[in-house]
């Protein structure tokens, strides 16, 4: 359907273009006056009025078609009589039978009939789809062709359309944010209607399994997210205590000590480190660092878990090093040269200049970089999914197995998703917490960095 | 009082003390510099160690173990004749040929031995035998010596990834199978050759058959979706913000939004895809279309920032020149400014695509984690993606998959490297200095 409608639309707008161009030329000839705009603009005007209705039909169809057909097919089933029927599973089965994926043999006659009904509806819908695309395109062109007069300012209106389009493009970012907030809030509210928000934020037991039978003892689900927050925090602390010193010292070395040649070698290498996908770090943590941490723990007499917070944190720290170093590098470089020269001029050596003058001057920017690093560490998913544990332990021992917000989101959404189950919905509540925290950190950090830049500009 | 201070100073800062102090200070200076050097070297060392680990674990996966079998393409067993049609040949009983060949793989095998030795071959050996026959149909009623793929356990042992000097129970191959293994090796019938399956096949439950073709094609479709969505929208948004946006609250809101979106964790974009695209708009699950849309939204800030920078770099005199010649503002921008900024915007887009190629978490959220054993052929078909394939293999406990994981990572790193190289090339080749 996609490819065919693409071909139809492309052919349609091409013929609209040709039609528009020849029409305006003949119109102008008849009246024997010059057109206000170049003929191409009239043709483009026709193209827009051909394309817009087609797009509206197309997107309307893909959004509503499935829903309407499903409802029509399911209308033949009485769900009140048969409470065991699940609409989702039923429609999947009907679709499979209709498309010959699973054989109709052994299926009930109702499903077979429904499948036939489904196929015929689908066929009707497809025919109607192509017809309505064609009709709407022709209608659009017909209405627009009334404007094909030499006095019509086609260029002006085309440029306005382009401007609207550009404006729409720039609002996509806003729409995305709205979409994120909307989807997180909506599902979270459903979650909080079943689980109290206080239990979620302050409870200390995370056991996201709802009893299957009523009154099943000893397995009451509980959604206290404190152990998850604590685990996230622990891994973040480990990561930042690796990334901050190494990243900061690398930045100091590169901006203050290194020769341009070393700089030109090290910087691209750090960029490679920054460009490595996080799943690769996850693999590295899993096969190399975690076994190392385990043997290291044993040599200290500590029983380290194979998926320890330390291993995940160390590797996450490595991931954040280039991030911290490049941001701090920028910040240190933008400290005015006069401060350096002043300090060196009164007899301080380089280290003293850096420690007493440059770092204090660059501190806000470095704090900003640190906060952005923290926000990355909290939101990082693949390293912890692969290398950290899944057990919600409330502990401060980095050799133990802890879990994080992102891990729990992934666990809740892998496999069967049922959007009436608090277990699935908990992912959205955790996502909301994650989004809010990282948003606050980002806004705060960006503001600090911006203020800092303004001070030295 | 003044005298007091002078006294103090002369006491505190005698000549020797000053020299000592200076020594101390320059030692501190040197120490500080060394810290910086150590930190930088550590970063580099970690990078090389990371790459070394992955390449050393992954390179062996580009080879697979094959065992030589004597296959007799007997027309009685195959139940075909020399003038059978192609369709009949395809349906011939190759599994019986395979059974006979494996039973005679080594001399004097008991029934129990045959069962054991059968487990040392890949499950799809009959398909390989069939393929060989279909390529040379005139070998009917002859006996051919062909190399067929060995089971992953044999493969791992031959490559030295699995240990043999441990307890029998902990080994995948038992003592009797080890004897067969040694016999195959000593007679030169077990060797390694280029692993075509790794590049030809989609995912599989059997490590020796699993390949990256399916996930690679899936990633390709996903990246195409990202490009088709993010590139026009990114350029459009940058042109609007740079050239047409009025200075008001809404424009400010857009700018703040873009800056913040760049730092939102990728998993949140996955939740957006799940909550809005799948549940509200009913996009098809686990398809490159949804994955690409989510990743496009995610990479949009990167692309917009790069595009705006390259639009800004075009000198205003060019636009002003066009305006002075009577062009409208739209013409000045689209005919003069945008073409000059295009190399920069392309570079930014490629870097954004490279970021999207490595992204895993959002794809897991929208269900691209399903086990897909075939190669996808369209945007709306369920498919895997390279990084998700890596994740699936990391999580699998079988040893054979660990090597596959590293090899898939090698491939993804190569692609990332190529994309970045292309970006650098475009920048140096087409970017103009004003």
- For the segment B249-254, the average pLDDT, to the nearest whole number, is 91
Query: Does residue B274 contact residue A196 with C-beta atoms inside 8 Å?
Result: no
Segments forming the whole domain that contains residue B49:
2-58
Kindly state whether residues B295 and B348 are assigned to the same domain.
Answer: yes
Cα A9 to Cα A39, A51, B313, distances in angstroms: 22, 7, 37
A172/B28 touch (CB, cutoff 8 Å), yes or no? no
Encoding tokens for residue B138? 């005139």
Rounded to the nearest 5°, which phi and psi values hold at B21?
-60, -40
Closest CB to B237 among A172, A270, A350: A172
Q: From B353, which residue of chain A is nearest by alpha-carbon distance?
A: A275
Say what the pLDDT of residue A218 is. Answer: 47
A418-437 residues touching B, CB cutoff 8 A: 419, 427-428, 431, 434-435
Average pLDDT over residues B78-106: 82
How is A288-306 classified by DSSP, letter by letter? Answer: IIHHHHHHHHHHTT----S
The reply to whether B207 falls in a domain is no
The answer to whether residue B205 sits within a structural domain is no
Tokens of A407: 């891990």
Please identify among residues 254-293 of chain B the ones whose CB lies closer than 8 Å to any CB of chain A: 254, 257-261, 263-269, 271-272, 274-276, 279-282
Mean pLDDT value of segment B343-354: 90
Q: Which of A286, A283, A311, A285 is nearest to A297 (CA)?
A: A311
More confident: B48 or B171: B48
Nearest to A381 among B236, B264, B266 (CB): B266
Closest CA to A180 of B27, B98, B235, B365: B365
Class of domain A222-455 as given by CATH: mainly alpha
**Could you tell me if B231 and B315 lie in one domain?**
yes
How many structural domains does chain B have?
A: 3
Nearest of A350, A362, A351 to residue A324 by alpha carbon: A362
Residue B217: which pLDDT band, with cuts at 50, 70 and 90?
very high
Q: Tell me the nearest-neighbour CA distance from A391 into chain B, angstroms.
A: 16
For residue range B286-333, list pLDDT tens digits in order. Answer: 889 999 999 999 999 999 999 999 999 899 999 999 999 999 999 999
Q: State how far Cα B119 lies from the chain centre.
A: 31
Closest-CA distance of chain A to residue B312, Å: 17
Residues of B in contact with A250 (CB under 8 A): 36, 39-40, 43
Of B301, B328, B334, Cβ closest to residue A155: B328
Does the beta-carbon distance from A277 to B254 stay under 8 Å? no
Q: Buried b / exposed e across B13-22, counting CB within 10 Å, b at 16+? A: eeeeeeeeee
Mutate to test the interface with B, among A92, A158, A381 (most CBs of B within 10 A): A381
Tell me the pLDDT tens digit for each residue of B406-423: 999 999 999 999 999 998
Question: Can you give the CATH number for the domain in which B217 is found?
Answer: 1.10.3720.10
Are residue B41 and residue B87 in the same domain, yes or no? no
In a domain, B251, yes or no: yes
Q: Which of B175, B200, B225 is the last residue of a domain?
A: B200
Name every chain A residue with its beta carbon within 8 A of the beta carbon of B50: 273, 276, 280-281, 284, 318
What does the block give as tokens for B262?
């760049």
Residue B51 lies in a domain: yes
297-356 in A: which are within 8 Å (CB) of B? Answer: 318, 321-322, 325, 349-352, 354-355
Whether B52 and B69 map to the same domain: the answer is no
pLDDT value for B5: 54
Same domain (yes/no): B360, B314? yes
Distance CA B186, CA A335 (A): 70
Q: Are residue B121 and residue B88 in the same domain, yes or no?
A: yes
pLDDT surpasses 70 at B9 = no
How far is the C-alpha of B341 from the C-alpha of B127, rounded, in Å? Answer: 54
Report the residue from B36, B232, B300 with minimal CB separation from A173.
B300
Half-sphere exposure of A100 (CA within 13 A, CB side): 0
Q: Is B371 on the interface with A (CB under 8 A)?
A: no
The whole-number pLDDT of residue A220 equals: 58
B244 & B312 share domain: yes
The residue among B26, B58, B90 that closes a domain is: B58
Q: Is A68 on the interface with B (CB under 8 A)?
A: no
What DSSP character marks residue B60?
G
- Residues B342, B402 within the same domain: yes
Whether B288 and B383 share a structural domain:
yes
Residue B305, chain A, CB below 8 Å: the answer is no
Interchain proximity B261–A168, CB inside 8 Å: no
Domain ranges of chain A: 2-152, 222-455
Interatomic CA distance for residues A167 and A161, integer angstroms? 10
Query: Is residue B268 assigned to a domain?
Result: yes
Residue A181's closest chain B neighbor by CA? B272
- State the smallest CA–CA distance between residue A329 and chain B in angstroms: 13
Mind telling me how many Å the CA of A145 is from chain B's nearest CA? Answer: 24
Q: Which of B47, B360, B391 sits opposite A269 (nearest CB)?
A: B47
Tell me which of B137 and A1 has the higher pLDDT: B137
Calpha distance B35→B200 (Å, rounded): 49
Residues of chain A with pLDDT under 50: 216-219
Quote the tokens at residue A202: 């302050």
Q: Are residues B36 and B111 in the same domain?
A: no
pLDDT at A431: 95
Task: Assess whether B117 and B233 both reside in one domain.
Answer: no
Mutation to test the B interface, candidates A280, A328, A349, A356, most B Cβ within 10 Å = A280
* Residue of chain A nearest B300, judged by CA positions: A173
By Cβ distance, the residue of A172, A273, A385 closest to B300 is A172
- Chain B residue numbers with beta carbons less than 8 Å from the beta carbon of A323 are none
Q: Do A173 and B409 touch (CB under 8 A)?
A: no
Sign of the CA dihedral with A150 first, then A151, A156, and A157 last: negative
The answer to whether the CB of B12 falls within 8 A of the CB of A339 is: no
CB count, 10 Å around CB of A66?
Answer: 16
Please name the residues in contact with A422: beta carbons below 8 A apart, sequence gap of 6 or more: A191, A194, A195, A208, A210, A221, A223
In a domain, B208, yes or no: no
Are residues B123 and B165 both part of a single domain?
yes
> Which residue blocks in B314-398 are alpha helix, DSSP H?
316-324, 329-331, 338-358, 361-365, 386-395
**Dihedral sign, Cα of residue B219, residue B221, residue B227, residue B230:** negative
pLDDT for residue B7: 57
- The answer to whether residue B118 sits within a structural domain is yes
CB contact under 8 A, A435 and B266: no
Q: Does B31 touch chain A (CB under 8 A)?
A: yes
**Per-residue confidence at B89, pLDDT binned at 50, 70, 90?**
confident
pTM of the model: 0.88
Closest CB to A187: pick one of B40, B241, B275. B275
Domain boundary among B17, B42, B58: B58
Question: Which pLDDT tens digit goes with each residue over B256-284?
Answer: 899 889 889 999 999 999 988 888 877 78
A138–chain B nearest CA distance, Å: 27
Interface A-B, measured as beta-carbon pairs within 8 A, has a size of 263
Q: Is residue B275 part of a domain?
A: yes
Residue B47: closest CA among chain A residues belongs to which residue?
A: A273
How distant is the Cα of B130 from the closest Cα of chain A, in angstroms? 27
Cβ A317 vs Cβ A242: under 8 Å: yes
- How large a percentage of chain B has pLDDT more than 70? 97
């Amino acid at each position: 359907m996609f490819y065919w409608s693409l071909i139809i639309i492309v052919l349609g707008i091409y013929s609209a273009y040709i039609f528009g161009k020849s029409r305006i030329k003949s119109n102008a000839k008849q009246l024997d006056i010059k057109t206000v705009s170049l003929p191409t603009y009239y043709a483009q005007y026709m193209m827009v009025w051909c394309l817009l209705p087609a797009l509206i039909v197309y997107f309307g169809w893909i959004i509503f078609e499935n829903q309407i057909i499903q409802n029509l097919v399911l209308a033949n089933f009485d769900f009140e009589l048969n409470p065991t029927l699940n609409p989702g599973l039923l429609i999947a089965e009907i679709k499979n039978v209709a498309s010959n994926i699973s054989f109709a043999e052994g299926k009930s006659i109702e499903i077979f009939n429904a499948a036939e009904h489904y196929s015929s509806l689908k066929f009707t819908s497809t025919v109607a789809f192509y017809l309505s695309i064609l009709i709407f395109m022709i209608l659009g062109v017909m209405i627009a062709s009334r404007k094909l007069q030499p006095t019509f300012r086609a260029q002006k209106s085309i440029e306005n359309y382009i401007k609207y389009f550009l404006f729409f493009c720039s609002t996509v970012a806003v729409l995305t944010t709205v979409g994120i907030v909307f989807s997180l809030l909506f599902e979270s509210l459903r979650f909080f209607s079943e689980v109290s928000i206080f239990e979620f934020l302050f409870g200390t037991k995370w056991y996201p399994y709802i009893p299957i039978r009523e009154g099943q003892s000893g397995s009451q689900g509980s959604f206290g997210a404190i152990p998850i927050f604590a685990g996230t925090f622990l891994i973040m602390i480990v990561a930042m205590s690796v990334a901050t010193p190494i990243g900061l010292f690398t930045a100091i070395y590169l901006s203050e000590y290194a020769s341009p040649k070393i700089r030109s070698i090290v910087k691209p290498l750090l960029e490679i480190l920054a460009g490595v996908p996080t799943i690769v770090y996850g693999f590295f943590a899993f096969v190399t660092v975690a076994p190392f941490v385990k043997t290291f723990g044993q040599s200290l007499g500590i029983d380290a878990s194979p998926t320890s917070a330390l291993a995940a944190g160390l590797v996450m720290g490595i991931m954040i090093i280039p991030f911290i170093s490049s941001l701090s590098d920028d910040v240190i470089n933008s400290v005015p040269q006069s401060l350096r020269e002043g300090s060196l001029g009164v007899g301080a050596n380089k280290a003293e200049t850096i420690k007493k003058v440059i770092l204090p001057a660059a501190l806000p920017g470095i704090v900003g970089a640190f906060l952005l690093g923290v926000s990355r560490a909290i939101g990082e998913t693949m390293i912890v999914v692969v290398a950290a544990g899944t057990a919600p332990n409330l502990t401060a021992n980095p050799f133990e197995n802890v879990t994080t917000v992102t891990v729990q989101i992934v666990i809740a959404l892998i496999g069967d998703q049922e959007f009436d189950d608090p277990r699935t919905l908990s992912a959205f509540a955790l996502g909301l917490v994650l989004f809010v925290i990282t948003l606050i950190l980002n806004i705060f950090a960006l503001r600090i960095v911006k203020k800092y830049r303004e001070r030295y500009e | 009082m003044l005298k007091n201070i002078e006294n103090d100073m002369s006491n505190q800062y005698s000549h020797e003390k000053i020299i000592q102090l200076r020594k101390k200070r320059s030692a501190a200076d040197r120490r500080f510099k060394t810290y910086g050097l150590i930190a930088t070297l550590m970063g580099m060392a970690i990078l090389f160690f990371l790459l070394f680990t992955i390449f050393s674990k992954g390179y062996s996966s580009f080879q697979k173990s094959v065992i030589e079998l004597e296959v007799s393409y007997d027309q009685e067993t195959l139940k075909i004749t020399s003038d059978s049609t192609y369709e009949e040949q395809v349906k011939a009983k190759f599994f019986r040929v395979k059974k006979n060949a494996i039973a005679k793989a080594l001399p004097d095998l008991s029934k129990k031995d045959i069962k054991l030795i059968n487990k040392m071959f890949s499950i799809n050996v009959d398909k390989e035998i069939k393929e060989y026959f279909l390529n040379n149909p005139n070998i009917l009623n002859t006996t051919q010596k062909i190399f067929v793929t060995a089971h992953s356990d044999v493969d791992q042992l031959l490559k030295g990834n699995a240990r043999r000097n441990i307890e029998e129970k902990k080994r995948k191959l038992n003592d009797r199978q080890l004897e067969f293994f040694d016999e195959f090796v000593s007679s030169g019938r077990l060797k390694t050759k280029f692993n075509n399956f790794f590049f030809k096949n989609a995912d599989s439950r059997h490590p020796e058959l699993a390949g990256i073709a399916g996930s690679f094609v899936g990633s390709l479709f996903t990246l195409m979706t990202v490009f088709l969505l993010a590139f026009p929208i990114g350029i459009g948004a940058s042109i609007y913000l740079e050239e047409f946006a009025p200075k008001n609250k809404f424009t400010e809101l857009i700018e703040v939004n873009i800056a913040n979106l760049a730092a939102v964790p990728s998993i949140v974009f996955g939740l957006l895809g799940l909550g809005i695209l799948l549940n509200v708009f009913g996009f098809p699950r686990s398809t490159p279309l949804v994955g690409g849309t989510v990743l496009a939204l995610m990479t949009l800030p990167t692309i917009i920032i790069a595009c705006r920078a390259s639009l800004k770099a075009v000198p205003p005199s060019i636009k002003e020149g066009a305006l002075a010649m009577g062009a409208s503002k739209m013409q000045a921008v689209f005919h003069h400014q945008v073409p000059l900024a295009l190399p920069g915007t392309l570079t930014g887009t490629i870097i954004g695509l490279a970021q999207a190629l490595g992204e895993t978490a959002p794809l897991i959220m929208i269900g691209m984690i399903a086990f897909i054993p075939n190669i996808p052929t369209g945007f709306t078909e369920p498919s895997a993606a390279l990084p998700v394939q890596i994740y699936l293999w990391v999580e699998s406990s079988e040893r054979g998959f660990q090597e596959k994981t590293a090899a898939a990572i090698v491939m993804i790193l190569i692609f990332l490297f190529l994309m970045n190289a292309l970006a650098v090339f475009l920048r140096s080749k087409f970017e103009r200095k004003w």
